[in-house]
Every structure is written in C-alpha cells, then in structure tokens.
Amino acid sequence: MRIATWNINGIKARHDNLLRWLEQESPDVACLQEIKSVDENFPRKAIEDLGYHLETHGQKSFNGVALLSKKPFEEINRRLPGDDSDEQARFIEGILSTDKGPLRVVSLYLPNGNPVGTEKYPYKLGWMRRLIEWSKQRLELEEAFVLAGDYNVIPTAHDTHDHDAWWGDALYREETLDLFRELLATGLTEAFRACNDTPHLYSFWDYQAGAWPRNMGIRIDHHLLSPEAADLLKGCEILKDVRDWEKPSDHVPVMLTLDCE
DNA sequence: ATGACAAACTTTGTTTGA
C-alpha cells in the first residue's frame, strides 16, 4: 500500500496538477493539506471518477485537509482533540481495512507558528502537545497508524539548506524541536529517515528568490508511524519532479510504501 | 540593503504562508 502526503496549496489552483499526479502515481491513499476550500466547494467529481473515496475537513480561504483512498473508509474523525475552541481545519483521521488488519491514516497540517512572538507560536506549541496526547492514546490500541502531513517542523540540520538562515524560525528552534522529539519519543518512527540517511533532501522550496532552482529547500512533510506500522515499512521517497511542473505547489508529495494491501 | 512569489478574499489592496 502506497500512502502519499502532499501540501497542494489550494485545490482550486492545483486541481489539474493533482489529477495528473493521481493518474501518474495512482497512490492507494493521498493525504492532502492546505486545500483552502470549504467542503461544499471542493471539486470532487474528477477525483471520484478516478476511483477514490474522498473525505475533507475544510474551511474558508486557509488550511483544510483531505483524505483520498481507493478503499472505502470504515470511519472518519475530524479535528484534533484537546481544544474545543480550535476552529482551524488541520486534522482528519480515516480507518481502512487491510490484509494486515486495521490501518489508521491521518492527514494533518501542523500550524506554521510564525512570527514567533505572536499568539501564533504558542498556538503551534499547544497543537503539538495535543498531538502528543493523541499519539499516546492511539498507541494504547497497539494498531498500525500513519500520521502523515505538513508538520512545519525541520527535524535536524540535515533537513535544511542553511542551518543559520532557519535557526530561530518557528519551524526550527529549540521549543519546536523539543516537542517534535517528544512526539517521536511516544514511540513513533519517522519513515523517511528510517529509509534514507542522505542529508539535504527537501520537500518544500519557497516560491521566492529562486529557491527551487538553487535547491534552497527544507524537509517539513513527514510520515510518523506507530510500531505496528513501522513493522510494515518498505520505503519512503520524495517525489521532487512535481516541483518542476507548470503552476506547482511549493511542496512536493512524499510517498510511503507499507507491506500491506 | 532590499525584495523577491503565490493564493484567496477582504478584490485593483490585504492577509497568509514558510
């Protein structure tokens, strides 16, 4: 089973790219972020015509996540627990049946948190603490799950083109990395780094300043696996060619392969 | 030293993103 995560930066702007990519790669599951659409306006038909079941958790203008799956979802849960006042659409969980048992797949869009010093940064840290709690509770089930998404976290200096340029940013500073490590320490495996120790491979390149042609990127889109999912890990790769397409997102898809059907 | 790019809506500027 192949499970992609991709921040598409707007379904309206990326609809044709998404369709072309789904036809080309044919992932079993796709976790999308920044759909930037309310659920009622999400263009479903062409995606469903490719054979995908589609569930969204959208909001107007910003944020928004979606799950696509060739298999039907047994259950869908929207919103990350822990703060009923949080109105931002950043989390959707689906449960699938596989030949190795149930598999939970989450598409998440972790808050950016910039600028540090505004209310946005403590919102990010609070969201990460809620995700840690979610992970601890789900791990008690001892089932396979995949937390896939745009984490807005640069895990290590190997995941940026320039440590000094990024250090201190909300994506790459002590408090952020402490909580990311705490999340991993609940018992999760970061799939890409479990498969590939080559430094300076990225999943995001800014639209500005020629960041893509100069390869000034960061790796912030991740799959975190429960132990039961990590036992099924076969591979994980960044599909960077998509960044060269016409009208690209600033993120590229990252594709996880698990040994289940 | 500065700005630089894209998307959506608040739409001919502003807000957000990273």
pLDDT in tens, A108-135: 999 999 999 999 999 999 999 999 999 9
Which protein residues, judged by their CB atom, are less than 7 Å from any atom of strand B? A 7, 9-14, 34, 36-37, 60-63, 111-112, 114-115, 120, 150, 152, 171, 204, 206-209, 218, 220, 247, 250
* Mean pLDDT, rounded, for A242-258: 97
Q: Which of A7-11, A114-118, A187-191 has the lowest mean pLDDT?
A: A114-118
pLDDT of residue A84: 92
* Mean pLDDT, rounded, for A23-38: 97
pLDDT of residue A169: 95
Q: Of A52, A109, A151, A172, which residue is the catalytic one?
A: A109
Q: What is the pTM of this model?
A: 0.97
Alpha-carbon distance of A241 to A245, in angstroms, equals 7
Is there a binding annotation on residue A74? no
Task: Provide the number of structural domains found in chain A.
Answer: 1
* Mean pLDDT, rounded, for A77-96: 96
CA of A233 to C1' of B18 (A): 30
pLDDT of residue A38: 95
pLDDT of residue A171: 97
Which domain does A144 fall in, by range?
Answer: 2-258
Tell me the CATH number at A184.
3.60.10.10
pLDDT of residue A121: 95
Q: Is A150 a catalytic residue?
A: yes
pLDDT digits (tens, 9 = 90+) for A191-216: 999 999 999 999 999 999 999 999 99
Average pLDDT of chain A to the nearest whole number: 97
pLDDT digits (tens, 9 = 90+) for A91-114: 999 999 999 999 999 999 999 999
Q: Is A28 a catalytic residue?
A: no
Q: Sorting pLDDT into bands at 50, 70 and 90, what band is A1? A: very high
Task: Using alpha carbons, select from A55, A6, A54, A15 the residue that is nearest to residue A34.
Answer: A6
**CB-based contacts of A229, cutoff 8 Å, min separation 6:** A103, A144, A145, A146, A189, A258
CA of A211 to C1' of B18 (A): 12
Q: Are A232 and A7 in contact (CB under 8 A)?
A: no
List the single protein residue with the shortest CA to C1' distance from B6.
Answer: A207
Is there a binding annotation on residue A221? no
List the single protein residue with the shortest CA to C1' distance from B10.
Answer: A61
Which nucleotides along chain B are within 7 A of a protein C-beta? 3-10, 16-18
Alpha-carbon distance of A210 to A230, in angstroms, equals 36
Q: Phi and psi (nearest 5°) for A119?
A: -65, -15
pLDDT digits (tens, 9 = 90+) for A160-183: 999 999 999 999 999 999 999 999
Is there a binding annotation on residue A196? no
Q: Of A150, A159, A169, A221, which residue is the catalytic one?
A: A150
CA of A68 to C1' of B3 (A): 39
* Mean pLDDT, rounded, for A246-256: 97
